[in-house]
Chain A
Amino acid sequence: MAERERAVASGATAFVSRTQVMSADDVRRAITRIAHEIVERNHGVDDVVLVALQTGGAPIAAKLADELARIEGKTVFVGTLDVAYYRDDYGLRPVLPEAPTDIPMDLTGTTVVLVDDVLFTGRTVRAALNALADFGRTKAVQLAVMVDRGHRELPIRPDYVGKNLPTRRDELVNVRDDGVDLGDKA
């Protein structure tokens, strides 16, 4: 979860919605489409592992796994990753893990699909790539996000996108089960 979105989820920043940019149905359809894209690109899901970035990626990864199971009839492993110990902003703000990392397997030889709610600067994904390397040598790492809001600060791009959403830097994006909202800090 990008830093700005994290502030919203934790309640540290009050979020005021301006417009809904995806409805609950839009989110559901995006997950179905992304699931099909994952299957197509990887010729099935045999070596595919989903790793959700804590905390915003977890509900999306769970729904993606359900959808993959429905399409392919196979159970895809879902792990969770908190990147606190790999961030690059120590000293700029308090950095503590918010939720458990749980990847009880060697990732060597697997194709990991990182799942997050919002892709913003790319710094969280950079931290996640470093963290993943400590769990084994993956065959490939792909990135799935519900919203790509732009403003990248690192050369990182998503492989699967729910919605490309042009934003201003100071806006906030709030992804929930019942839709995606664009708004501002209160």
Chain B
Amino acid sequence: MKHLLQIADLGADGIDEVLRVADTFAEVNRRAIPKVQALRGKTVVSLFFEDSTRTRLSFETAARRLGADVLTFAAGSSSVKKGESLRDTVQTIDALGADAFVVRHASSGVPHQVSTWTEGSVVNAGDGWHEHPTQALLDAYTIRERLGGFAGRRIAIVGDIRHSRVARSNVAAFSALGAEVTLVAPPTLMPPSTEGWPAELSHNLEAVLPKMDVVYLLRVQRERATEALFPSLREYTAHFGLTAARAAMLPAGALIMHPGPMNRGVEIAADVADAENAVITQQVANGLSVRMAVLYLLLGSGVDLAA
């Protein structure tokens, strides 16, 4: 496997292998000097056409801890502003000797398109409403770490499913690993069609919470309120926000997760986000080990992960 564009590229065995290798990098990250030289001489380019804090920093730190060189591209301060096309931008950077592109773009399919223009590997760091596979991998790593495994586990993904690449990648990953996934959202925030999605649907958060091992909250994209998909943020919170009272309906030991950045007081109450069973900062920490595993498996290991 040369690129990681979507979870389906990996399959259940490939996900398991990424998580196993991520364990070994978690050990590296606990060392006095948390850095190896496994990708020495490789160049990783972070090609971000959309704002990002955690994903870009996480990938760049991961690449550096593997000994790779990192080139950072930020669309706002680049020749894209002078009208340079995506293809010319990629080929210009490619000419500098890139071994991997980590790509984020507001349009679905851009990472795939980039993969046709370069000899290097491409990792999808989020494209439009399509996928964000490394987020799903780090979420799977976190769940496995805390709950031991996926077989028979029930996971609710709550919020703006329609516009969420995180939801699409997570449904694919969690179901491939054997979990039962329930999507919870108002009808306007469900995808136009969920035919073929390996998930149950619900519009009633309180009805599903008592059965869940994990509740995964998606960020409410505030700009969606103006599209009349829900009446107001307050109305959203009233029906779909994880308040302290709703969090108390979860079974003991159930996990509360969020991909960040959080809107405290909207999809998740401030004190719930800091609760003992909220593993949101652990997700970020695990993201580093998981992205090291992905970069190493694509660029260094010589192992073919194809599903």
Contacts and interface: CB of A to CB of B under 8 A. Distances in A.
Interface of A: 82, 84-86, 90-97, 100-102, 104, 106, 130-131, 133-136
A136 to B, nearest CB: 5
Interface stretch (B86-94, B109-117, B296-304): B296-304
B15 to A, nearest CB: 15
Interface of B: 21, 23-24, 27-28, 30-38, 66, 296, 300-303
B36 A95 contact: no
Given A94-B301, A94-B303, A136-B32, A85 B27 contact: no
Nearest to B25: A85
Given A96-B21, A135-B32, A90 B302 contact: yes
A90 B21 contact: no
Chain A interface main SS type: loop
A86 B36 contact: yes
Given A86-B36, A93-B302, 20 more contacts: A85-B28, A85-B36, A85-B66, A86-B37, A86-B38, A90-B38, A90-B300, A91-B302, A94-B303, A95-B38, A95-B301, A96-B21, A130-B37, A131-B36, A134-B31, A134-B32, A134-B33, A134-B35, A135-B33, A136-B32
A96 B17 CA distance: 10
B32 A95 contact: no
B31 A135 contact: yes
Nearest 5 A/B pairs, CB to CB:
A85-B36, A134-B33, A94-B302, A85-B38, A94-B303
Nearest to B37: A86
Contacts of A102: 27
B116 to A, nearest CB: 24
Contacts of B296: 85
Contacts of B36: 85-86, 131, 134
